[in-house]
């Protein structure tokens, strides 16, 4: 199993980042995929999900209209375009299946300064 996230960093409020995730073909091909985030003191939160075909996506209200999830099935990759970032988006972001398997990658840290 492989889940490798990248693309995080430090950005000012209002800025954008694009996260990438490389996943093992064995878990990627037939599963919905999602991005989650973890902030100290809070439970892991789902921020975007996409079906295996890529036709359907789902977002919580907290990121709807600002985040866009996409996937490239030929490359076994899933992406998260994050626009209009807010300080409350600061977290470590992870990709996984939806619902998640019990293996998590190292995540990628996103810090949004005010």
Digit-coded pLDDT (tens) for 23-62: 987 887 788 999 999 998 999 999 999 999 999 999 999 9
pLDDT in the model for residue 56: 97
- Which residues, in sequence order, are CB contacts of 39 under 8 Å at separation 6+? 45, 90, 91, 92
On the question of pLDDT at 105 being above 90, the answer is: yes
Backbone dihedral angles phi then psi of residue 8, each to the nearest 5 degrees: -70, 175
Beta-sheet strands, E only, within 7-101: 9-12, 17-23, 33-38, 45-50, 57-58, 67-72, 77-82, 91-97
Q: What is the mean pLDDT of the chain?
A: 95
Farthest-apart Cα atoms in the chain, separation:
40
């Amino acid at each position: 199993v492989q889940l490798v996230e990248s693309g995080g960093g430090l950005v000012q409020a209002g800025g954008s980042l694009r996260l990438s995730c490389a996943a093992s073909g064995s878990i990627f091909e037939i599963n919905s995929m999602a991005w989650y985030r973890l902030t100290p003191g809070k439970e892991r939160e789902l921020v975007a999900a996409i079906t295996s075909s890529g036709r359907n996506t789902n977002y919580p209200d907290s990121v709807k209209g600002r985040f866009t999830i996409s996937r490239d099935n030929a490359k076994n990759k899933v992406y998260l375009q994050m626009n209009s970032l807010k300080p409350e988006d600061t977290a470590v972001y992870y990709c996984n299946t939806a619902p998640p398997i019990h293996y998590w990658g190292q995540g990628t840290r996103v810090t949004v300064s005010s």
